[in-house]
A and B are shown apart, each in its own frame.
Chain A
Amino acid sequence: MYEIKRKALLANNIKLFEIFAPEIARKAQAGQFVIVRQHEKAERIPLTIADFDRNQGTITIIFQEVGRSTIDLGQLKKGDYILDFVGPLGKESEISKYGRVVCIGGGVGVAPLYPIAKRLHGEGNYIVSVIGARSRGDLIWEEKMRAVSDALYITTDDGSYGEKGFVTDILKRIIGSEEIDAVIAIGPLVMMEAVSEITRPHGIKTVVSLNPIMLDGTGMCGACRVQIGQETKFACVDGPEFDGHLVDWDNAKRRAKMFLQEEKIALEVLRYNCSEGGAHACQKNK
């Protein structure tokens, strides 16, 4: 059992937990992830580590409530316990002295981007960060990103904050005016794909972090397989970071929809349970 030491609402439907897991915190590195199983009947879901505190023994996870499992998870409060918390899994980020690095985060993807940007910054790289969200109320961790960046750009789709437009608009502008040595992009698949397509003709090293459907997270099932160039890789053990120019994005986008139908059913069950017809089973905070 793993205690939630702190809970915060960062933006619309985006929540933060600090989980007490000192053994994992001791080993965690930027770029790695944990598997969370909330309760006996829950799924095992992968969440990228957003931060860790070796002294406090905590791992920070940030998640957007988009499906049944994340909505259920979001109902937990400070002091509650998560049944299973496994990690640190996957490979750590490849941190080196690139020079000028553009760190791009979209939506909740800013969370796993942060520890990588922090490490890269610490290694003496010049960090240009570009973070974006649909709207002002969806943006997270602006200040934390600012603290590890030499320059920070913000975009919102609706223009309610920062520049109106997409993170890729800014990236194009930066590429047009500065020499860039590497790009790290974490966010929705379409965003990471768009970033990779922009950097490809310029031959700029582009690293993306994939978060496909997983089950065990230790290389045992292959649910998370991704097509990287000519090879099939398991994101859980070979990743989660890959060369954005080698990812088969169409395949990745399709595989993300593998259980779309079932995900809808699981959500509907939750809605029914929370409606008046099934209010007895509702866990929602009243």
Chain B
Amino acid sequence: MSKKQVVGKKYAMPVLDPHERIKYFREVATGYTEELALLEAARCLQCKKPLCVEGCPVGVDIPAFIKLILARDYQGAANKIKEKNSLPAVCGRVCPQENQCEKFCVMGKKNEPVAIGRLERFVADWEFEHGEFKPEAKAPNGKKVAIVGSGPSGLTCAAELARMGYRVKIFEALHMAGGVLVYGIPEFRLPKAVVAREIENIKKLGVEIEVNSVIGKLYTIDELISDGFDAVYVATGAGLPYFMNIPGENLNGVYSANEFLTRVNLMKAYKFPEYITPIHTGRRIAVIGGGNVAMDAARTALRLGVEKSYIIYRRSEKEMPARAEEIEHAREEGVEFVLLSSPVEIKGDEDGRVKAIVCQKYELGEPDSSGRRRPVPLENSEYEIPVDTVVMAIGQGPNPLIPATTPELKTNKNGNIIADANTGKTSKPQIFAGGDVVSGAATVILAMGAGKKAAQGINQYLFGGTE
């Protein structure tokens, strides 16, 4: 392998022109062509002890699928990924690979790592276009598992269990399956058709999905058990939006990121009035926060036609939790970053509509418990930015509905369900939990990893691991 000429950089991902793409919601990154995929796949060193795999929360055999790409056996590559990952087209798009598989890639030591995520996406998209997903049928094992929530964690757990022979039923509160993949992440980053195809594949494994079912209201967890489910996996995510508790937050024109994105993504308010759910942005919008959700909201606003889209964040760009790629895309599209600033008040006009946001300036002090330098407010540094809309993207907590109706289920001080990290086991027999409802708001792939572990935990619990 050493004789091969080393290509130092990743082959670039083709993207739509920033000035064009903000006119519509089409997917920004268009994906590797076959030619690019083959070139990129050739950069993989095929390490004997692949460190990349250790960086993958679901343990995909990365060198093996890349080798199959090189052999032009794309179906084989897809099958290889699917042994471990039920949502490859999603992960290839939204996983923070730079902190996971690609972070450990040996190529990355001196050069750029192999673009594992882009290759994963190429394979998944190829399969959707050319291949046919044929689930391997496993004899039913006679056990039934209920899964609460159809986001990435619930879907992954469902797929894993179905492959082991379980009868699986997912209960989803909204009218559409997918959780954050359909209500949160925008079309231009993760097309809903892609999510729908992944979910179709999971249904082909025999998984049943019942939408419009709010567990805790329609049925309690205890009722699911008494109805004959042998175990329940709670994967209800981090759906409770946080606000800042500053004056003016209940003015018209202040949205949680969840509301803003749900209106646009799930309810398709960007097609108003063909779709009847409205959204109102005005000319200028301020999104508070520095994570991926904030970037999604700021970029969505541009596509809704705002003239100014600000990201207001109290630390500097270096501390932003958003992926570098998302920050870059946002900047290219014209999002303006107002850094080292945090709102102290939102001002309204006489009709109660937002007209400005008052920010205080910050500087960075000593590192805090997260290792990031702590923002320190500067006295008498308040200033006003005129805006018509404010979106709070400062994080979400767990939805309290299930803990509130399941008294034996222990939670921590933040309301997160306490569950074993390796098995998903909770304080209540037969009940497992994982994903954001346990960890607090994290990433799609970590939620999927938890779903996978819980599937094994459930299997262990019901069959003592003999299955």
Interface residues of A (CB under 8 A from B): 23-24, 27, 37, 41-44, 68-69, 72, 83-89, 215-216, 218-223, 225, 227, 232, 237, 248, 250-251, 254-255, 257-259, 261-263, 265-266, 269
What residues of chain B lie closer than 8 Å to A227, measured between beta carbons?
250
What residues of chain A lie closer than 8 Å to B211, measured between beta carbons?
84
The majority secondary structure among interface residues of chain B is loop
By the criterion CB–CB under 8 Å, are B276 and A24 in contact? Answer: no
What residues of chain A lie closer than 8 Å to B217, measured between beta carbons?
27, 87-89
The tally of residues in B whose CB lies under 8 Å from a CB in A reads 42
Q: Give Cα distance in the complex from A229 to B138, angstroms.
A: 57
By the criterion CB–CB under 8 Å, are B258 and A69 in contact? Answer: no
By the criterion CB–CB under 8 Å, are A218 and B173 in contact? Answer: yes
Q: Give Cα distance in the complex from A257 to B276, angstroms.
A: 16
By the criterion CB–CB under 8 Å, are B262 and A220 in contact? Answer: yes
Say whether B383 faces chain A, with CB atoms less than 8 Å apart: no
By the criterion CB–CB under 8 Å, are B218 and A24 in contact? Answer: yes
A-B contact pairs, 16 of them (CB 8 A): A23-B219, A41-B274, A43-B277, A44-B277, A87-B218, A218-B214, A219-B240, A219-B399, A220-B399, A221-B241, A221-B259, A222-B241, A225-B250, A255-B352, A257-B252, A262-B272
* Known contacts A43-B267, A87-B218, A218 near B273 by CB under 8 Å: no
In chain B, residues 228-258, which have Cβ atoms closer than 8 Å to a Cβ of chain A?
239-241, 243, 245, 249-253, 255-256, 258
By the criterion CB–CB under 8 Å, are A222 and B258 in contact? Answer: yes
The 8 Å CB contact of B175, one of A37, A69, A72, A261, is: A37
Closest residue of chain B to A37 (Cβ to Cβ) is B175
Nearest Cβ on chain A to B149's Cβ, whole angstroms: 11
Nearest Cβ on chain A to B401's Cβ, whole angstroms: 7
What residues of chain A lie closer than 8 Å to B250, measured between beta carbons?
225, 227, 232, 248, 251, 255
What residues of chain A lie closer than 8 Å to B251, measured between beta carbons?
254
Closest residue of chain B to A41 (Cβ to Cβ) is B275
By the criterion CB–CB under 8 Å, are A220 and B239 in contact? Answer: yes
What residues of chain B lie closer than 8 Å to A68, measured between beta carbons?
276
What residues of chain B lie closer than 8 Å to A218, measured between beta carbons?
173, 214, 239, 399, 401
What residues of chain A lie closer than 8 Å to B273, measured between beta carbons?
262, 265-266, 269
Say whether B422 faces chain A, with CB atoms less than 8 Å apart: no
By the criterion CB–CB under 8 Å, are A223 and B259 in contact? Answer: yes
Say whether B278 faces chain A, with CB atoms less than 8 Å apart: yes
Q: Give Cα distance in the complex from A23 to B212, angstroms.
A: 11
What residues of chain B lie closer than 8 Å to A216, measured between beta carbons?
173-174, 262
Nearest Cβ on chain B to A256's Cβ, whole angstroms: 10
Nearest Cβ on chain A to B241's Cβ, whole angstroms: 5
Nearest Cβ on chain B to A97's Cβ, whole angstroms: 26
What residues of chain B lie closer than 8 Å to A248, measured between beta carbons?
250
By the criterion CB–CB under 8 Å, are A215 and B267 in contact? Answer: yes
By the criterion CB–CB under 8 Å, are B243 and A222 in contact? Answer: yes
What residues of chain B lie closer than 8 Å to A220, measured between beta carbons?
183, 239-241, 258, 262, 399
Q: Give Cα distance in the complex from A69 to B214, angstroms.
A: 23
* Known contacts A27-B217, A221-B241, A262 near B278 by CB under 8 Å: yes
Q: Give Cα distance in the complex from A216 to B176, angstroms.
A: 12
Nearest Cβ on chain A to B10's Cβ, whole angstroms: 37
What residues of chain B lie closer than 8 Å to A262, measured between beta carbons?
272-273, 278-280
Say whether B55 faces chain A, with CB atoms less than 8 Å apart: no
The 8 Å CB contact of A215, one of B173, B240, B263, B275, is: B263
What residues of chain A lie closer than 8 Å to B240, measured between beta carbons?
219-220
What residues of chain A lie closer than 8 Å to B280, measured between beta carbons?
258-259, 261-262
Q: Give Cα distance in the complex from A69 to B243, angstroms.
A: 29
Other than the given A84-B175, A227-B250, 6 more pairs (CB < 8 A) read: A23-B218, A215-B262, A218-B399, A220-B240, A237-B400, A254-B252
Closest residue of chain A to B272 (Cβ to Cβ) is A262
Nearest Cβ on chain B to A30's Cβ, whole angstroms: 15
Closest residue of chain A to B238 (Cβ to Cβ) is A220
By the criterion CB–CB under 8 Å, are B175 and A219 in contact? Answer: no
By the criterion CB–CB under 8 Å, are B218 and A27 in contact? Answer: yes
Nearest Cβ on chain A to B299's Cβ, whole angstroms: 19
Closest residue of chain B to A214 (Cβ to Cβ) is B259
Say whether B351 faces chain A, with CB atoms less than 8 Å apart: yes
What residues of chain B lie closer than 8 Å to A221, measured between beta carbons?
241, 256, 258-259, 262
Question: Contact mask B342-363 → A, CB, 8 Å, 1/0?
Answer: 0000000001100000000000
By the criterion CB–CB under 8 Å, are B218 and A41 in contact? Answer: no
Q: What are the 3 closest A-B residue pairs judged by CB atoms, nearest first?
A: A262-B278, A254-B352, A221-B259
Closest residue of chain A to B240 (Cβ to Cβ) is A219
What residues of chain B lie closer than 8 Å to A24, measured between beta carbons?
218
What residues of chain B lie closer than 8 Å to A263, measured between beta carbons?
278
Question: Which of A87, A88, A218, A251 has the largest count of B CB atoms less than 10 A from its CB?
Answer: A218
By the criterion CB–CB under 8 Å, are A219 and B400 in contact? Answer: yes
The 8 Å CB contact of B243, one of A83, A85, A232, is: A232
Question: Contact mask B161-199 → A, CB, 8 Å, 1/0?
Answer: 000000000000111000000010000000000000000
What residues of chain B lie closer than 8 Å to A223, measured between beta carbons?
255-256, 259
Nearest Cβ on chain A to B229's Cβ, whole angstroms: 16
What residues of chain B lie closer than 8 Å to A237, measured between beta carbons?
400-401
What residues of chain A lie closer than 8 Å to B401, measured between beta carbons?
218-219, 237
By the criterion CB–CB under 8 Å, are B352 and A266 in contact? Answer: no
Closest residue of chain B to A223 (Cβ to Cβ) is B259
Question: Contact mask B278-302 → A, CB, 8 Å, 1/0?
Answer: 1110000000000000000000000
What residues of chain B lie closer than 8 Å to A257, measured between beta carbons?
252, 351-352
